[in-house]
Chain A
């Protein structure tokens, strides 16, 4: 199996753009889709990006996803930061043995 590594925390000011990385330890990041979930305190996670860069209906276009094969990582970018974006963000992918989550990143909007 593989590990997805995320930074423990990131912070940025309102109106700015922040990017959260998710690096896959083995196997290609492009071989299985990457999803991103937002989790506010005390709540269940909700999807914000699926299949690397797809946005579910209802998710603002301020949220975008990408993958970079050269660094074997996926990224979630949030532009025009708002206070309500403050949350934990979790990346998730799969291989033939099952599904894997990253350790989660706490986003603080200063």
Chain B
């Protein structure tokens, strides 16, 4: 298990780009799938996508045209970019880690509320 600390802008206007970053502390950066998950108000969790240490990404099909997840291995950080946001993208965004060879997210960031409003 590692410690994740995330940050980014919390208020956006429609059509802007959401950008969040997550820093990884206290463990193996190369041993995980690094993931972004969101939760709209009063709703369940929604997997957005993930990246492995080699930089290979997988995205939720319905978001694929707007999302990118990237790594900065020099800083042990990974980032989320979501373009052309609308009110439907308003949610708490979590970064999370899933250890390679396991099946569950054992490390979570604290969550960032992102509100999209004109």
Contacts and interface: CB of A to CB of B under 8 A. Distances in A.
Given A1-B61, A97-B61, A98-B59, A47 B105 contact: yes
Contact of A44 (B43, B44, B59, B110): B110
A29 B35 CA distance: 23
Contacts, number: 58
B43 A35 contact: no
Interface in B58-84: 58-61
Contacts of A94: 103
Nearest to B35: A99
Interface in A17-54: 33, 35, 37, 44-47, 50-51
Contact of A101 (B45, B50, B61, B106): B45
Interface string A46-64: 1100110000100000000
Interface string A97-110: 11111111000000
Nearest to A105: B44
Contact of B44 (A33, A50, A90): A90
A104 B104 contact: no
Contacts of A98: 47, 49-50, 58-61
A66 to B, nearest CB: 16
A101 B46 contact: yes
Interface string B88-117: 000000100000001111101111000000
A101 B43 contact: no
Given A44-B94, A44-B111, A99 B47 contact: yes
A33 B108 CA distance: 20
A48 B59 CA distance: 25
B59 A101 contact: no
Given A44-B110, A50-B103, A98-B49, A103 B94 contact: no
Interface of B: 35, 37, 43-47, 49-50, 58-61, 94, 102-106, 108-111
